[in-house]
Chains A and B, each alone.
Chain A
Amino acid sequence: EVQLAESGGGSVQPGGSLRLSCVVSGFTFSRYWMNWVRQVPGKRPVWISHINTDGSGTSYADSVRGRFTISRDNARSTLYLEMYSLRVEDTAVYYCARGAGGYGDNWLFDYWGQGVPVTVSS
C-alpha cells in the first residue's frame, strides 16, 4: 500500500523557518518525481515545488522561490521542504504528492499525504 506521511508542521512567527518531511512507503521512492502542494482550507490547492528522481532537478512556484528548498533522501525514502523567511501568506496545509510518472505524466499527482498544517502568525 502506497503511503506518504508528512511531519514537521506547526506554528512559527513571520521570518521564521520550518522543515517539513514526508516519509513514503509502498513504492520505490527513487523512481518517482515528488512534489509539495499547499492548500488554504476552502481554497484551491497550489503547487509549490517539485524534485526529480535523483534530486538533480527542482522547480518552484514564484511565490516561494528563493525562500523554500526541496530535497530528497532516496536511501531514507524521505522528501523534505526547508522553508525560510516565512510569511503570513504561507499559512496553509502542506501536502507531499507523488508525480504520476506511471500514468505518463509527471505533472499529475496520484498519491498524496494526509497533509501537515503550517501557521505563520505573530
Chain B
Amino acid sequence: SYEVTQPLSVSVALGETATITCGGNNIGRKNVHWYQQKPGQAPKLVIYRDTLRPSEIPERFSGSNSGNRATLTISSAQGADDADYFCQLWDGTVVFGGGTKLTVL
C-alpha cells in the first residue's frame, strides 16, 4: 500500500510562513488534497488537487506538488491556523497522511 509521510509538528511565528510537507514515492503524479482539523471538529478541506482552494478558504493557503513531495504553505500564519493538517490522496484506495500539528507562536 502507498505510504505518505508528514512531519509530526511544525511551529511558525505569528505572521510568518508555515510549510507542511507530505512525502511519497512519485507523489507528484497523484492528486493531493489537504485538510485542516481543529480539536473536536471534523476535518475541513483547505486545498484540493494539489493547488486549488475552495472559495471559502483564505488566500494565504496554497499548495504545490512535485517529485516526491507535496507541500501546503500557509502565508502570514494566524492564530486561527493552529490545527492538525492531513494530506490525502487516492492510490487504489484512500490514503491519509499521519498528520502535522501546526503551532502558531
Contacts and interface: CB of A to CB of B under 8 A. Distances in A.
Decide whether A and B assemble into one complex: yes
Interface residues of B, number: 21
A66 to B, nearest CB: 16
A114 interface: yes
A45 B95 CA distance: 9
Contact of A105 (B48, B96, B97): B48
A100 B97 CA distance: 19
From B42, B90, B96, name the one whose CB has the most chain A CB atoms within 10 angstroms.
Answer: B42
Interface residues of A, number: 21
A44 B94 contact: no
Interface string A81-94: 00000000000000
B67 interface: no
A108 B44 contact: no
A105 B49 contact: yes
Interface string B27-64: 00001010100000111110011001010000000000
Interface string A36-65: 010000011111000000000000010000
